[in-house]
Structure 1
């Protein structure tokens, strides 16, 4: 990552957290604002429970980030259940039949434990990268544990489960069940989970206050949410690259895509205007243009044949959800709005607005061309990556048909046709990984199995396995998703 990119991507931690909360809500099939509402209720519950200041901060931060590992295990949920979003809706909302389906597949221990491990490790790592306190990191690493010891992935119980986890779990149930089933039914459902999912004394506290809290919540403004939920650590600064990396975890074949789009767009924009604020806007927009992708199940993204119309309808709405994210993400709002133009075309054939030139700004045209170019240079389930020359010719053809801006395409292709890649400023040596370990990591980060990596790198499966084990040890993680996230931050992918 260049110094310019660092400056372009600077953002307040709270705004990054809100963007990640929005992505998590989409991944879980919940209404946007679900995590914010949960955090607001959790803060009230923590205050009413007389939690100490450390727990209070952890409750707020954990509530907002509890779904931040959802993109990381989306592929795993899709492999097991087909529709990664539909099964999460059923689980969170306690829909009839989902537990029976889980038991038919082997039960929570066999099916959900490894998926929970991925989620917990990644969400804990997200908190660490954001500079949040150990209490928040610990809570996120145990976010699916329960008071009775039947949680996942390690079945901690009672005092070994962070209090923040229990408070957030109850607040999440209050928000979800009251919204779907009504307040009376919500009280029945949380009572059933007393001394199981969370301790009875928390349920008793909620029983005394939840009705008034929910009434207050309906009147809360954006300013009220910000005032109630911003912790001291979330007032600090971070960079938006983490958001891009979390977005790309949803589909292994997207690893590094958003960073590459951002860097390509910023470089193209710099050839067209000296306005550094424009360079910054397109860079940020490139990083977060895929936010809405979380709303579409992996089984649709992974289709190798032509998409049916029903699937296309969901894909067309992805940039709409990116636009909606801007309403929640504070300082990232301008970037999210620009990002939602990534799939518009000059002739009006794009989506979701169908906007025509000259309504498209220079920055929107730059982003659209950059997304197309980087995508063409990348492998996809339905085709292999195009060569640089093929991708360049495709962009020229699109410009000649009036779908892309000619001047933008010429600027993008004026200095060669390589996709711009970025690093986070770390040297390879700083990761302590060998060159061969990095080779293996790059292949498995794109979703390859050990056997597939062995074939691609002309190694034995046992050698690949040894390299993977070394990568995990050196990066201090146990899952491929966490290794990918860390490696992306180190600029290795």
Structure 2
């Protein structure tokens, strides 16, 4: 699904292609293990595309829409000329895909297919320019099935069949293409029927750290972000006293929260400063895509929903649901704080990483503005500093001045302006001015609310 989104495709494109590959493989060679090999190559053929997203951004300007145009055969003349320089990007993609297959312990035929997934019958493919019969049969099957699925969806069945027919003995063997052309309409009709998720029995589970790593490859400056966020969120959850199962779900959520990031072009992620409204709208959809993807994987039902709340804020300014504090659970608040912290202490193309002290200052000030949960921020800061218990941290830079803090401490215990003025040897009007400043900084209008916020932020 990450691969589909990165290529500008619906996130069921690879699954639809995999079903077509199985039909084609079965029609040509009957039932057998080769159909499962074809299915796995089809499902993983885009698994390396986050690794070369930055390269496609430089090549085509937009890594997501550019690759969509490449797959749908709608690249303009400039794009076609640029693609002549894409061999190094294909090499990156194939190497990463092959390594993923190896890491997952899949069969050597699957790995071999993925390492050559862009090769073609006539030698015009990439990265090695292999010719038939050096190209694995499964590569032809996946290429054919993918062309049929994408072109029929984008241009209609008749146009797709004509295009495939015109590329026989160029992209794929004529005999194999002819077999597909004979059954294409019927097979596409079968795709309209939902397919139950089949149990894979004793298949080994996939490590979510691998998924997080693949997600992070999309942006060179994001490497390791999901892993570090997961470790931080887990530790903050333990310090907060969450049960073990909730800690696990939170750690998983941090690893997969960026699934939807694949759908957003790198040019947007690399933009410093405020985004255009249209670009911001794409960013707001990141947790939506994460939610939709995880919702189709039963094992990620709980952690996926936590991940979908990664960018919500207590004051309702977050996305994609714009929820407020009443709708956000402890796990949601911890995840949001952990991700914000990890972003602050990481280098970005437009700024260096903040120090821990500066990051704590910024995070607590955001909490003071009502966007993050103060207790969750305290837990994250404590976890990041290697502490074994929660400690109260005061915002850097003095959110309140020393005099304002002293006056707030006194009025919080019930002292009137006149009483505080007498105790401190200043005029009641000066006390009133300081109180008004405190209310403004804490965004409060009553003493009770100011006292509560100051206590949660560790100001008094």
TM range (shorter): 0.7 to 0.9
Given that residues 149 and 157 in structure 1 are in contact (C-alpha distance below 8 angstroms), is that contact kept between their aligned partners in structure 2? yes
**Distance apart, 1:274 and its partner CA:** 4.2
Alignment of 1:250-399 (within 5 A): 250-399=218-367
| Structure 2 Cα separation of the partners of residues 337 and 190 of structure 1 | 41
Residue 391 to residue 77, structure 1, CA distance change in 2 (3 Å): same
Cα shift at 1:356: 0.6
1:36-435 equivalent positions in 2, closer than 5 A: 36-50=15-29, 53-95=32-74, 97=76, 100-105=77-82, 108=84, 111-221=85-195, 223=196, 226-227=197-198, 235-415=203-383, 417=385
Deviations 1:145-171 (A, max 9, x none): 011111000011112111111100000
Distance 1:321 1:102 in 2: 28
Root mean square deviation, CA, Å: 1.8
CA offset digits 1:244-297 (Å, max 9, x no partner): 000000001001000011111111111122411100100000001111111111
Deviations 1:325-354 (A, max 9, x none): 112333123222211111100111111111
Q: Against the structure 1 CA distance between its residues 274 and 153, is the aligned structure 2 distance closer, same or farther, given a 3 Å change threshold?
A: same
SS at match of 2:327: coil
- Corresponding residue SS for 2:296: coil
- Compare CA radii of gyration and give the structure with the larger one: 2
**Which deviates more from structure 2 when the two are superposed, residues 202-211 or residues 62-71?**
202-211
Q: Deviation at 1:55?
A: 2.6
* Offset, 1:68: 0.5
Give me the TM-score of the superposition, normalised by structure 2: 0.81
Deviation at 1:303, TM superposition (A): 1.1
Alignment partner of 2:382: what SS? coil
CA contact (8 A) 1:373 1:395 kept: yes
Which runs of no fewer than 5 residues in structure 2 stay unpaired?
389-460
How much has 1:104 moved relative to structure 2? Answer: 3.7
Q: Once structures 1 and 2 are overlaid, which stretch shifts more, 112-121 or 269-278? A: 269-278
